[in-house]
Structure 1
C-alpha cells in the first residue's frame, strides 16, 4: 500500500506495548499467572498459557480480557472484585517489565529523530503505571514524558480498551488536534482498528512481532485499516523523515 499524504500531519500517536518496546511476551508471562489464578477462583475453563493469551488477547488490557472471559462462560463479576484482580495484575506485570526491559538504541534513535519533526504522544490500553515503568526501563522518558501518555485504562472517565476508539479520541482532544493532523503507529489489528475508528491515518510496525507471525500480522493490520506496514523503526523513519537512522549493534 502506498503512503498517504503526510503534509498535514503534526503529531504521531504511538502505541506502547509491542511498538515502542518489546513488552508483550514478558508481560504475558507475568499476566498469565494472574489470569490462571483468576480462572481458578471463578471456575473458568480454557487455555491460559502466556503464549495462548498473547496470541488471542494482544491489544486488550487485563480488565477487558477478564470481563470477556467471564461473560463468555456466564459468570457475573462483582465490579469491586474485578478491580482487585485488575490491580494485582497491574502491579505484578509492571514490576516484571521494569526489571526485564532495557533501552533499545535503534528505537531511542528513531523516536528521537521523529521527535525533531513531529510532536509525539503515547496512546495505549495499558495502565499509566505500566507505561511509566516501561518508558523508564526503555530510556524513553525524555522523549515521551508523562503528560503525553494516554491510557485507556486510566485516562478516561470509564476504563476501556482498544479496539474502542475512546482513548484515541481523548488524546486528540487533549492535544488540541483534529484526526487529520495525527498519524497512529500500531503493531496489532486491535490497535489499528481503534485508531482508524477515530478517523486517524494509521501505519503498522511489526519490528517486535515474532518473524514467523509477521506475514499474518501484516495482513491483519491491513485488514484493520493500516495504510501501510513497515518491518522496522528505521524503515518508518525513512518514510516520515527521509533520513536513515543507523545504530551500531
Structure 2
C-alpha cells in the first residue's frame, strides 16, 4: 500500500520563533511544549510516522496536532475551552501566590504554611494547596547539599567515573563500603505460618543479640558481592576484610577499590 504523502508544513519566521520559544520557556506547560516540538518536526519535512517514531508518540497524535496547526496555526495548539464552571482564580492571582511563595518568607516563621499564605494572598486554604500541588511547591520541605572545597575535586571525580565506565584491562574494580551498628534481632516467639483466611503472624516484641558490622565489596562488572560481618568495627576488622578480597580475586588481576574514606575504621 502506498504511503500517503502529506503536503509540506511551512512556517513563517515569526511562527518558527514562537514555537521554539514554547519548547524552551520554563513556564510553558509540558503538553503545549510537546505540541510545538511536533509542529517543528513536521515542518522539517517529516511524515507523521517519522515524527511519531522520533518523538516516541502515537501516529494519530502527530496527525491531530499537524491538522490543528494547519487549520488555526499557533492558536490551534492550545487546549479548547472546557465545559463546566468558569475559573474563579485568574492567572494573575495564581502568579502572585507563586511569586510570594518563592521569593518571600512570612514573619516569625521559616516557611509559608497554606493557612499563612491564604491570609496573605486573600485566597482560600484549598486554593493555595491546589496551586502548590499544580506547580510542585512544597515550602515545608528542605533538602541539603554540600559543595566540595577540594581543588582536585574534578580530577578525582573523573578518575572514579573513568574506573566505573571503562575499567582497566586485566583488573577488577570493586566498590567498597560498610554498614556498622546493625542490630541482630530475633522475635521473642516462633512465627505462626499462614493459614486459609489468616495471614502469617509474628510477635510484636523481639530479643536483641547485640550488633554486627557488615563490610561489602561490589564487583561493578558482574554484580557479585564479597561480604563479611564482624563483631567489631575497627581497622583490624577492615584489614581482615581486605585480606578476604585479596583471597577472592584471581592473582593475575589488579584490584582497584572505590570507597568513601569518611568514617572509615581506624
Q: Same fold (TM over 0.5)?
A: no
Q: TM-score, normalised by structure 2?
A: 0.21
Larger Cα-atom Rg: 2
Higher relative contact order (CA 8 A, sep 6+): 1
Structure having the higher helix fraction is 1
- TM-score when normalising by structure 1: 0.22
- Select the structure that is richer in strand: 2
